[in-house]
Amino acid sequence: MRFPARKAAIAACLVGIALLASSVAARAGDTPAENGAIRHLHFRYGLLVIRPGQNIITTNKFSVPQPKIDGWIVGFVPNIRLQDGTVPPVDEIHLHHGVWATGTRFDATAPPFPERFFGVGEEKTQLHLPPGYGYEYHTSDFWWLNYMIHNLTPRSYKLWITYDVDIIPFAVGRREGIKPVHPIWMDVQNGSIYPVFDVLKGSGTNGRFTYPDQAVDPYGGGKPKNEWTIPARGVLVHTFGHLHPGGLSVDLDLQRGTQTAHLFKSTAKYYEPAGAVSWDVSMTATRDNWAVAVQPGDVLKISATYDTSRASWYESMGLAVVWMYDGPGGVDPFEHAVDQPGVLTHGHLPENDNHGGRKTTLADPRTLPDGTPTSTVDVDDFVYGPSDLTARTPIITVVQGQSIRFDNLDAQRLGVWHSITACKAPCTASTGIAYPIADAAIPFDSGQLGNAGPPTSGHETWSTPVDLPPGTYTYFCRIHPFMRGAFRVVAVG
């Protein structure tokens, strides 16, 4: 819904920072190419300088390139590209998430936010609306971008966030009878600044954990964030889900009184040979004939399911953008089943070819002798101090019942976050999109050690659990998985 004129000031506040800096915008040349009624436009945002180890949430610092013609947006395809135009390997740098929003409209499910119309992670799902529907766009609209580029290496990069937009000009759309749709942002942690949750290995049922259904008090006793009450009659015409590695599906349900109908399961198709453990995945979207009739008072719900038989998954997500037409039509899901298998928006992508897991020269830490009793480890310059596996020295030890404190010096010196995340020993294989993972029998995780707001943990130090039994423990950094370390808990006396 568009802002009425009296709310123009609010709209200006939402995007004011970006407007002030719009004079330094970096734009592509739009490069339209007609294909029947649709114009295909290419845009890039940047050039962005990504610091070594960067992993921060950022909003646009200058204006976001957008179409220069009014019309109906019917497609949106995102990516990132290096300065030379190539797509970088996912195990080196990737788009943790990107959210595009229209700053001159309020979001339907989280009104303080601008209208979020497209969200994606490194799975790179593509939006293609069903024929006959479009997202109304005017050149007076102002786009806003929230993104998080994850640099998994100690080197810097320069890159563009790119997106291809398919748009039908209004004049053509009127002749073709295009119906307007608007986005309904559904998220299991909707409205949170960093809408994530942790999934621990072994949790749930039969190796699967569904959030929020199987979580303990996921909303702190407050109102559920995964629900939205539909205000008016309409038709849901398209959707797809977003998950992180380890995710299996996103489910949408509709509640009407005491009845519940399942609307769609967006399923993760992993091309990854090791299974559901990497970004080498594509999500299913609804087919063009999916049309669900909804009524005022219906409650739309979303949930996300992760595999827990293999590993723990920290900072996971579960969301979907549902496109709605405010008019008659569709199938009543309480009279006829509407759920059906979806369609994949793309296949395996070559930037996911380095799966990792190959043998390296790192020694198996379980075979190394006991080293010096240690109470503090400094994480400095992407190295876990004396516990780093590249040190090739005896394994540092701690007496059972005591702990080792890790201090992330890189947070202060470089603004770089690190984690100490348990992995299955020996945890010495080569780094790739599928290795290492948090697959230790006894899980532990420090969070992203830093004090800079989400996604950091709010502290730069962390101590190992005091209840660890004797044994050798290996770990890695979730943010920079080439970092590996180990310590040993020894029995008292």
Residue 204's region, left for phi above 0, alpha for psi from -120 to 50, else beta, is: left
Quick one: pLDDT at residue 66? 97
Is the pLDDT at 320 greater than 70, yes or no? yes
In single-letter form, the type of residue at position 345 comes to: T
Is the pLDDT at 338 greater than 50, yes or no? yes
Quick one: pLDDT at residue 369? 96
Per DSSP, the three-state class of 445 is strand
Quick one: pLDDT at residue 7? 38
**pLDDT tens per residue, range 133-157:** 999 999 999 999 999 999 999 999 9
- What span, in angstroms and rounded, lies between the C-alpha atoms of 270 and 287? 20
Q: What distance lies between CA 86 and its chain's CA centroid?
A: 22
Question: What order do you get walking across the sheet with 405-408 strand by strand?
Answer: 376-379, 405-408, 461-463
Please name which of 379, 481, 387 lies closest in space to residue 436, comparing C-alpha atoms.
Answer: 481
In this prediction, residues 357-361 reach a mean pLDDT of: 96
Is the pLDDT at 28 greater than 90, yes or no? no
- What span, in angstroms and rounded, lies between the C-alpha atoms of 242 and 316? 10
Is the pLDDT at 35 greater than 70, yes or no? no
Please name which of 337, 331, 244 lies closest in space to residue 292, comparing C-alpha atoms.
Answer: 331
pTM value?
A: 0.91
Q: What percent of the chain has pLDDT over 90?
A: 89
- What span, in angstroms and rounded, lies between the C-alpha atoms of 324 and 459? 42
Is the pLDDT at 276 greater than 60, yes or no? yes
Q: Let me know: does 14 contact 116? Beta carbons within 8 Å.
A: no
CATH architecture of the domain with range 365-490: Sandwich (2.60)
Mean pLDDT of the chain: 92
Q: Taken in order 240, 241, 242, 243, is the CA torsion positive or negative?
A: negative
CATH 2.60.40.420 placement within the chain: 365-490
Is the pLDDT at 16 greater than 50, yes or no? no
Residue 49, both tokens: 């300088």
Quick one: pLDDT at residue 36? 65
**pLDDT tens per residue, range 428-437:** 999 999 999 9
**pLDDT tens per residue, range 380-390:** 999 999 999 99
Is the pLDDT at 10 greater than 90, yes or no? no
Q: What distance lies between CA 128 and its chain's CA centroid?
A: 20
Is the pLDDT at 14 greater than 70, yes or no? no
Q: Let me know: does 161 contact 80? Beta carbons within 8 Å.
A: yes
